[in-house]
Amino acid sequence: MIRDYRDRSPASRDGGTLVEDIMEAHDRDPSLVAANDLVAALTGPYVAGLDTVANTLASLVYAVLKHPAVLERVRAEADALFARGALTDEAISDLPSINGAVLETLRLYPIAVAQPRVANRDFEYAGYPIREGEPVYCAVTHAGADEALPGQGQRGASPANGDGGRQRGNAMIESYWSLA
Ligand code: HEM
């Protein structure tokens, strides 16, 4: 990427890409983006995007196709959006069904399931003593599927909820839409 950027004439750069921003910042002030940080700064977003966005989009397609009523709403919203002309920031900021689909997908099929942390002091959590310096995995996405937590009961409330697990998730994605 560095070589490619250098090989292109300044006139051929279209501006506004992350690669160009990082390289321009480095050329302007190497103390801002150091030479030995360039490889990580340039490749990191690709790795982060492949792991997260690509897999989340695959889950989104799966989740939407699995729910015909949801598919209908998402498709109608997308058709109406494109019928209004070119996409703008403003136009895409008001897409309740599509936005709801993405949020529900992140909740039902979270790609980053836990955040690793290190305890900076002794504490007790749910009866388990945690000592300073111990590694801890915070399963933050568990909250999105825990009916005991506020909000989940209503969102998941549906006659189809009985079996829990994935079936409950499917019911939740539909009840979310009826709320959106
Ligand atoms: C569905 C998409 C994504 C999800 C679910 C996601 C999720 C996460 C999570 C859970 C963390 C850890 C936060 C923490 O430990 O406190 C994180 C960190 C980070 N993500 Fe993403 N991410 C996504 C997309 C991206 C993309 C596309 C980029 C870059 C273009 C990116 C760049 C980063 C960076 C730089 C960090 C580290 C932030 C820091 O330590 O200060 N992420 N992401």
Give pLDDT tens digits for 79-137: 999 999 988 989 998 898 898 898 888 888 888 888 899 999 999 998 999 999 999 99
> What number does the ligand 1 atom closest to the CA of 56 have?
1
Q: What's the rounded Cα separation, in Å, for the pair 43 and 167? A: 38
Contact yes or no for 111/52 (Cβ under 8 A):
yes
Site residues for ligand 1, CB cut-off 6 Å:
44-45, 48-49, 52-53, 56, 111-112, 115
Who has greater pLDDT, 177 or 74? 74
Query: pLDDT tens digits for 85-97?
Result: 988 989 998 898 8
Atom of ligand 1 nearest to the CA of 140: 10
Cα 51 to ligand 1 centroid, rounded to whole Å? 10
pLDDT recorded at residue 159: 31
CA 76 to ligand 1 centroid distance, Å: 31
Residue 164 reports pLDDT greater than 60: no
- pLDDT at residue number 149: 64
- Average pLDDT of span 132-144: 87
Average pLDDT over residues 135-142: 86
Each residue's pLDDT tens digit, 7-49:
988 888 777 789 999 999 999 999 999 999 999 999 998 888 8
| CA of residue 72 to ligand 1 center, whole Å | 31
pLDDT of 170: 45
Hey, what are 46's tokens? 């690709």
Separation CA 13–CA 132 (nearest Å) = 50
> Between these two residues, 180 and 168, which has the higher pLDDT value?
168
Sign of CA pseudo-dihedral 49, 51, 53, 57: positive
